[in-house]
Structure 1
C-alpha cells in the first residue's frame, strides 16, 4: 500500500513539474499573435542566438525590425518577449516591478557567486538591503570621495608615464588592464577603505585576474546557468560543494576558483573593517579613507539600525563582493569603451582635452567643476547611451500581467494590438541597448556616436517617450526599485579618470583588431581570444608651446 502511494506521489510530482515548466508548449498563448524572428531550433529557441558573444547583429535586427516588442522562442517550445517600448518598460521595471521580478536563474546564480548581497535578493528582502544602502551613495558622500579618486588616478598617471617617457613615440598598452586595476583600487579605497593595488608595476594579482575572468567564464556557461534554479539543494553545503568539484567541465571549475577567490577576499576585508570599527576613531585614523569609505558608513548604519532593519553578517559580506564586482567590471569596461571612441575620433579627444585643461588650470578638479563640464558630460552620456555595458536584463512574470504599449502594433493575424496579455512564468527580456538606440526616439542618427547631441536641447521624441531609466532618458542604469544604486559613483569615477588621463596622454587605436563581446557586461578581446584586453597606442601629450 505504501509503495503504491509513493509511486502515485512520484508520478503526480513529475506531472506537476512537467505542467509548470512546459505547459506553454501545449497551451495556446496570447503571445502567439506577436510578431518575432524565427527560432533557431526547438531545443534552444532564440536563446542561444541572443546569448552569443557576437550577437550584436541579432539585437540590431530586433531594434530595427520591430516596434518596441517582439516574441522570441524560448527553449523547448516556450515563449519569451523582447521589450523596448517605453510604456511597456515602465510597467515592467516600475509600476509592476514585483510582478516582473528578476529571473530566478539570475538571483540564484548571483547568490552562489557573490553571496546574499543586493544582486541576489528579491521583494521585501531587497528593499530592506537597499534602504540601508541608499544613504551610502548620497551626493554628500560622493563629494568626500573626490580626494581619494584624485590620489588613486595620480598613481595611474605616474605608472603610465613610466612606460611612455623616453620612448620614441607612442607605446602600446593594454588599457583595459589599467582601467580594471584603477577601478578596483578606486572602489577599494573609497568603497571599502582597502588598497588592492599600488599601481606601480605590472600586476598579476590573483584577485584582479579572477574578477576580469568572471564575465568570459560566465559567457561560456550562459545556458547552463539558466538551469541552476531547477537543481535541488539537498544535503549540507560541504556536500553540494563536493558535487560541484566533481563536475567534469573546465569552465565550471574555473568559475568555482573565481568565486572562491572573491569570497575569501570579501571575508578578509569585512573582518578587518569590523575590527577597525570596534577600535573606534583610534583604529581608523591611520587607515585608508579614515573611516569615511562607503563600507565603514554602511557598517555604522547597520550598528545603529533597529533590529528589524539590521543586516546579518553574511549579507554584509555579500555586499562587499557585490560592491567590488559591480563597481569594478562595469566602470572599467565603460572607461575602456570611452577611450576607444576618443581614439577613433581624435577631434573629439582634442576638444575634450581642451575643456579639461582650461577648467583645471593645472589643479585637480573639485566635485562642482567636474559635474558641470558640458563636453565631458556629453561624452560620458553618449558613450553610455550607444555602448551600454549591460545589453539586456531578464525578468519573469510571477502572475498573469498586462503590458500596455505606447503605440499599437500589428499582430500576425493583421489585428491591432494595444496591450499584451503576458501569462505567468513568461521570460521577458528588457532591451536596454535597443531602447538607447531606438531611432523612433533618438532619431535617424541614433547609431552614431555624437556627443554634441547632449549640448543642445534633446528632441521632443526623447522627452515625450518618458523612458523609465534613472539616468538621462537612458536605460543604461535601469530604473525602479532595482536601478543601479551606484550610478552616481560610476559617473564621477569615469569623469575623474578621464580628466587625469587626457591632460597627460594621447590615445590612438592599435593595429591589433579589438572585438567587443556580448556578456552580462560587455568586454573587449583581441580578435577571437577569450582573455579580456584592449591594446591602445598611448603617448605623452605635448601642450602647444611647452617642451616635454
Structure 2
C-alpha cells in the first residue's frame, strides 16, 4: 500500500478507535477464547498467515468448545460459532437479523455490484424470488446434455495435452476454464471461450483473482479492508479514494464481467419479444425481470449486470475448487479412485452403447456421490462467513460451553452489533455432528446412517452452501456439474501426484485456494499426473 494511503488508514484507525471505544461491551466477553497480541488487528493477521486454513480456528474450537470469544480489528469482539443449534438459529431462525457486515457489503459491491450476493432484506427477497425458477431441479435437468458435452470437450483437451508430451499439468486453472464455459453457455447462452484460450478479458481477470487480491494481506491492508465495519456510514465513501490491491483486482473483474454481460444481453435479448418468452433459463428470467414495470418483479439494468457477474464468479469458482480438492483427495486415496471407476463401469454396463446418462444415473452412484459430499464437507471453498447481530438476541447451543469463570452455558446472549463468525469449516468437522473421525476425509460416512442431526445445510446437511435465507441459490447446479465432470474425468483418466511428497497447502485468500508450499508466488496450483485410462466395457 502507498505510504500516503497507509497514513490515511492510520488516521482513520484512530478515528475508529475513538468510535468503538464508546460502544457498549458484548455479553460474549464472559466466554473463553485465545489471547490476542494486537488490539488493532485482533486475530485477523494470525489467521491470515496461518500455515493452512483452519489450523488456528479448529484448535481453538477443540480447546474452548463450539462457541468461543475471539478478537476482530479495532478492538471488536467476535463470537466464533460452530455449534449446530446455534448456527441453525442464526442462519435459519433469524431471517435477516444477522446481516452481512458493512465491510463485506462494501467489498462485494466492488466485486459484483448490487446483485443477489450484496443486497439484503426485502431487496434480497425480490432478487431471490425472480431468480428461483432458473435453479429448480426440473430446469437444471435441461442443462445435463450441455454439461456432458462440455466435460467431453475438456477430456479431449486433456488428452491432447498428454499426447503432446506433458503428463503433468496444473489442473486448477483448467477446471476453472471448464466451469467458466459451462456457466456461460448454460446460464446465458454465451460462449466465453475459456477452454479454447480465446483472448477473453473475463477469463484473464478470473485467473488467480483471489490469490492476487487476498493472499497474505499486509497489516495495513487488513486494517483498510475492515474499516467499513467501524466507520460511520457517512465516512465509508472516503474509502473509494484509497487504492488497494483487492480493489484493483475486484474492480477489474466487475468491469470485465459486466462488459461480458452487456454482450450477452445484446446477442441474446435485444430485438426479441420478451412478452411471449416463457424460458426459465437464467438469461430469459433476467431479461423479463428487466422489462417488468411492476417494481416488486423488476430488476434494474445495474441489477441484471450484477446478477451476471455474481453467477459467473460463484458458478465458476465453487465447482472448480471442489473438483480440484476432490482430485487431490483421490490422488491421496487411489483405492477410492478405483472404487469410483468400478462404479462407472457398472453404470455403463447397463447400456449397449456409451449413450448419454440421465440425472437419475448419476444419482444412482452411491460412492461417487459420497466422495462429492465428503469433499464439500472437508474442503469448503468459503471456510467462514461474518455476520453482525441486528438486535439483541439469545443464541441456543447444542453442546454447553464453559465460561472463563467456570459457568456452564446452554445459550449465549448477544447484543446488537455483535460480530458472529459462522465457522463453516469447523461445523463441517464438528465431531458432535460428524463423529469422532470428523478430521479425516472418509466418504464412507455418507454410505451409512448418520446420527440424528440438527437440520442445517441445503445439501447433505453440510454448511458449504450456507443455509437459510442466504443459502446458495445454485447449489443444485453445482452438484449436478460436479457429478458430470467427475464421472467424465475418472472414466477417461487415472490421476496421481507428479512426485512423492509434494506440499499442497490450503491457504486463506478470501476463499480457500490450493498452492504449492514453496511456490506460492506462482498462484493457485494443483499439479497432477494424468494417465489416459479409458474404462473397458
- Matching residue of 1:6: none
**Residue of 28, 32, 38 corresponding to 1:41:** 38
Q: Distance in 1 between matches of 2:530 and 2:185?
A: 26
1:386 aligns with 2:385: no
Q: Distance in 2 between matches of 1:19 and 1:404?
A: 33
1:420 aligns with 2:418: no
Q: Conserved in 2, the CA contact under 8 Å of 1:398 and 1:425?
A: yes
- Matching residue of 1:535: 527
After superposition, the C-alpha distances for 1:135-191 in whole angstroms (9 at most, x for unaligned) are: 110011111000111111111111111112375xx7011111111010001100001
Q: Distance in 1 between matches of 2:506 and 2:199?
A: 23
Deviation at 1:497, TM superposition (A): 0.4
- Matching residue of 2:148: 150
**Residue of 258, 262, 269 corresponding to 1:267:** 262
Deviation at 1:276, TM superposition (A): 5.6
Secondary structure (helix, strand or coil) at the match of 1:402 reads: strand
Q: Conserved in 1, the CA contact under 8 Å of 2:113 and 2:254?
A: no
Q: Distance in 2 between matches of 1:457 and 1:265?
A: 46
Greater alpha carbon shift after TM alignment, 485-494 vs 406-415: 406-415
Q: Distance in 1 between matches of 2:223 and 2:260?
A: 28
1:342 aligns with 2:337: no
Q: Please, which runs of 5 or more residues in structure 1 have no aligned partner?
A: 1-13, 285-289
- Matching residue of 2:442: 450
* TM-score of the superposed pair, with normalisation by structure 2: 0.88
After superposition, the C-alpha distances for 1:246-294 in whole angstroms (9 at most, x for unaligned) are: x3x555434433333233223332333331634899xx9xxxxx96642
Secondary structure (helix, strand or coil) at the match of 1:36 reads: coil
Q: Distance in 1 between matches of 2:414 and 2:136?
A: 37
After superposition, the C-alpha distances for 1:64-92 in whole angstroms (9 at most, x for unaligned) are: 22321000022232211000111111111
RMSD of aligned alpha carbons: 2.8
Distance 1:524 1:276, change over 3 A: farther
Q: Distance in 2 between matches of 1:264 and 1:338?
A: 33
Q: How many residues align?
A: 510
Q: Please, which runs of 5 or more residues in structure 2 have no aligned partner?
A: 1-12
Secondary structure (helix, strand or coil) at the match of 1:390 reads: coil
- Matching residue of 2:503: 513
- 1:21-100 alignment runs, 5 A limit: 21-24=20-23, 27-52=24-49, 54=51, 55-100=53-98
Secondary structure (helix, strand or coil) at the match of 2:143 reads: helix
1:406 aligns with 2:398: yes
Deviation at 1:494, TM superposition (A): 0.5
Distance 1:119 1:250, change over 3 A: closer
- 1:222-261 alignment runs, 5 A limit: 222-228=222-228, 230=231, 243-244=241-242, 247=243, 249-250=244-245, 252-261=247-256
1:468 aligns with 2:466: no
Q: Conserved in 2, the CA contact under 8 Å of 1:136 and 1:298?
A: no
* TM-score of the superposed pair, with normalisation by structure 1: 0.86
Secondary structure (helix, strand or coil) at the match of 2:387 reads: strand
Q: Distance in 1 between matches of 2:208 and 2:62?
A: 33
Q: Conserved in 1, the CA contact under 8 Å of 2:96 and 2:469?
A: no
Deviation at 1:399, TM superposition (A): 1.6
Secondary structure (helix, strand or coil) at the match of 1:341 reads: helix
After superposition, the C-alpha distances for 1:328-372 in whole angstroms (9 at most, x for unaligned) are: 011101110001111111111111011113213422211111122
Secondary structure (helix, strand or coil) at the match of 1:101 reads: coil
Q: Distance in 1 between matches of 2:374 and 2:41?
A: 35
